[in-house]
Structure 1
Amino acid sequence: MNTIKTVGLSLIAGIGGALLVNYFSQTEDIDQYPQAQVIENEPNNQVSQVAYSTIIPNENFIEASEKSTGSVVFIQTLSEVEYRTGGWMDWFFEPRSSQRVGSGSGVVFSKDGHIVTNNHVIMDADEITVIAGKRSYEAELIGRDPSTDLAVIKINSSDLPAIEKGDSEQVKVGEWVLAVGNPFNLTSTVTAGIVSAKGRNINILRDKFPIESFIQTDAAINPGNSGGALVNANGKLIGINTAILSRTGSYAGYGFAIPVNIVKKVFNDLVKYGEVQKAFTGAEFIDIDSELASRIGIQDLDGVIITEVKDGSAAEKAGLKKRDVIRKINGKQINSKANLEELIAKSYPGDKLNIIVERDNEMLNREMILTNREGTTKIITRDIYYAEDLDASFESVSKVERDLLGINSGVKVVDFKTNGFFSNLGIPKGFIITQINNRSIDKPEELAKILENIRGRFDVIGIDERGRKVYYPFRR
């Protein structure tokens, strides 16, 4: 009898325990999603729908994908690469060469066949091929801007749909976005995520005047996505995908896109002028942190601090000084250096900026007129000189770049043909030649004439793209 009682009590306890576990497990499942709220006086199926919709987004990703994928193309590049030993054997043997193939994505920006992509996708390319659907097109390089990592190419087609543009200033952190591109040569790939942050500066652009104010997203971006589209839930372009934050080279959580408002300006300038009409302040800025704020005696960590003002610059003419704190520009709060650089990137030489600065705990109002790279407000077109005998192109160095590098004159190497006279010298593109045999070089025509006629030993001195002074000895 005692045995029967024991068994019965065990069964009752087991059933009761199971019921309690089931009850609390259901309660725990609901507690895992505190954003899912039960609405009274609604049928059970509608209550479930409300709870579920707070986890899964309502946006129609199908419609956004259909609107954007047709405007994103696959880009293939072919480059001729020379290999040199860097030693005396280069004088006796022809350099070895090979072909390098690259790929990326592009976005159809206008109906007449203009396409936006990343500068690093087409950089140094001898041939650019655009593949849209099942058709292939040879592309022409219209222009590129290393400071924003953007480039514009063109194909002879009016059949491709131009993407609809959004407004990156209206983009909100937390909103849903799609990354459209061709990762790992997988064409027309779409991934979804949210905007994780805005105004990111990650120091990846290797340019003398980089502009970094990226939109950060957790939508998967991988190699091959570069130059592709970041679109909102309505299928409107809000950015051009350009970089990933990864230790492996593949997606690891965060990607970065150039805001479309910057892209629009760069595109319009390259198509219309062949060069971006950059605006310069002539000042250097840094972000404010708590240590710096304490050192200079300010409380508000928003804004940027001026660390240098160039003589004769727009900043100096506006009355700005070193250690001034810029708080607002044109009525908009300045939160970071990236925020300020994005605003300047969308401006033109000649534009007026109303600036609120803090100096010695006093707020001052200043007006600045932005200038171009030569210190004026005129439209600048790129003037490239082609030296036929050298098979190379050169251009003068702008005043802004001369001031930055601390040089009085110089001529920049723009491009050269493989196996031409100049290419055999081994001087890279982007190198600034300041002297030949201790003679200063001011104009491209002067450089070409000297190199065409020089005989015997000669020395070339200049500045490389990293700002280092470099010496090249030659004999002809």
Structure 2
Amino acid sequence: IAVLQLRGAAGLPTAAIGGGVNVGEPVVAMGNAGGQGGTPSAVAGHVIALNQTVDATDTLTGAQETLGGLIQADTPIKPGDSGGPMVNSNGQVIGMNTAATDNYKMSGGQGFAIPIGQAMGVAGQIRSGAGSNSVHVGPTAFLGLGVVDNGGSGARVERVVSDGPASAAGFAPGDVITAIDGAPIYGATSMTDALVPHHPGDTITVSYRSASGGDRTATVMLADGPPA
């Protein structure tokens, strides 16, 4: 969930925010299916369950986390739709698309959305400037790694962004991140969490097991970009 400040903007129309949602209610999920841009995509369906819990994996970074309290609908959303609105038949936003079942490429896929009340609560916290371990206020720090879980023992590097801070520090696929600033890293999610409090320009110490052998430590200055 992000809150953007637009300089010089005023009088812009805003989406209507809905209240409660019921099982069986018709909904439409909209977004940027496939991340291709252009005209937003829209898929229709119905709410099939409330207060659902899922284990979600980020298709870009490999970070995994458990999400709870979600709206489940038979709307086959796709990567790129995350962050888009789920609206009811009155055009009111009732949720924010956040995850899809693994079979999203096939018919019968299902989508999950964060209830809009929960999303608005986080947005309010961001607007107040109250950062926390899960809420980041200001520009996002960028390390430049795509990582996956490593059996509970660190986060294994699968991808290194060229020209990013991690690339400049010499990281390579197969390295396993074990600690950041001395705090243990147990997997992809804990690594993402460790970067949340940081901002571009911060310097961190990364401990890792090199794919070529041996334990190493690198000092990295974070850049500006997505939290990975």
Distance 1:171 1:224 in 2: 24
Do 2:177 and 2:185's aligned partners in 1 also have CA atoms closer than 8 Å? Answer: no
Q: How many residues align?
A: 169
Q: Which amino acid aligns with 2:16?
A: E
1:181 aligns with 2:37: no
Distance 2:83 2:138 in 1: 27
Partner of 2:203: none
Do 1:223 and 1:250's aligned partners in 2 also have CA atoms closer than 8 Å? Answer: no
Aligned match for 1:218, one of 67, 74, 85 = 74
Partner of 2:22: 172
1:153 aligns with 2:4: yes
Q: Identity rate of aligned residues, in percent?
A: 27
Distance 1:166 1:222 in 2: 23
Partner of 1:473: 216
1:239 aligns with 2:95: yes
2:44 aligned counterpart, secondary structure: strand
Partner of 1:190: 42
Partner of 1:264: 120
Gaps of 5+ in 2: 58-62, 144-151, 153-162, 192-206, 210-214, 220-228
Do 1:223 and 1:249's aligned partners in 2 also have CA atoms closer than 8 Å? Answer: no
Describe how 1:37-56 pairs up with structure 2 within 5 A. none
Q: 1:239 to 1:247 in 2, by over 3 A?
A: same
Partner of 1:433: 181
Distance 2:179 2:218 in 1: 20
Q: 1:246 to 1:463 in 2, by over 3 A?
A: closer
Partner of 1:339: none
Larger Rg: 1
Do 1:270 and 1:276's aligned partners in 2 also have CA atoms closer than 8 Å? Answer: no
Distance 1:188 1:154 in 2: 22
1:248 offset after TM fit, Å?
A: 5.6
TM-score by length of 2: 0.57
Q: 1:430 to 1:264 in 2, by over 3 A?
A: farther
1:161 offset after TM fit, Å?
A: 1.8
* Ranges of 4+ aligned residues in structure 1 off by more than 6 Å: 380-384, 427-430
Do 1:245 and 1:251's aligned partners in 2 also have CA atoms closer than 8 Å? Answer: no
Which deviations, in whole Å up to 9, do the C-alpha atoms of 1:85-130 show, x marking residues without a partner? xxxxxxxxxxxxxxxxxxxxxxxxxxxxxxxxxxxxxxxxxxxxxx
Query: Which structure shows the higher helix fraction?
Result: 1
Distance 1:421 1:254 in 2: 36
Do 1:221 and 1:255's aligned partners in 2 also have CA atoms closer than 8 Å? Answer: yes
Distance 1:429 1:274 in 2: 29
Greater RCO structure (CA 8 Å; 6+ sep): 2
Q: 1:237 to 1:276 in 2, by over 3 A?
A: farther
Q: 1:475 to 1:248 in 2, by over 3 A?
A: closer
Q: Which amino acid aligns with 1:243?
A: A
Gaps of 5+ in 1: 1-149, 279-379, 393-404, 406-417, 435-440, 442-461
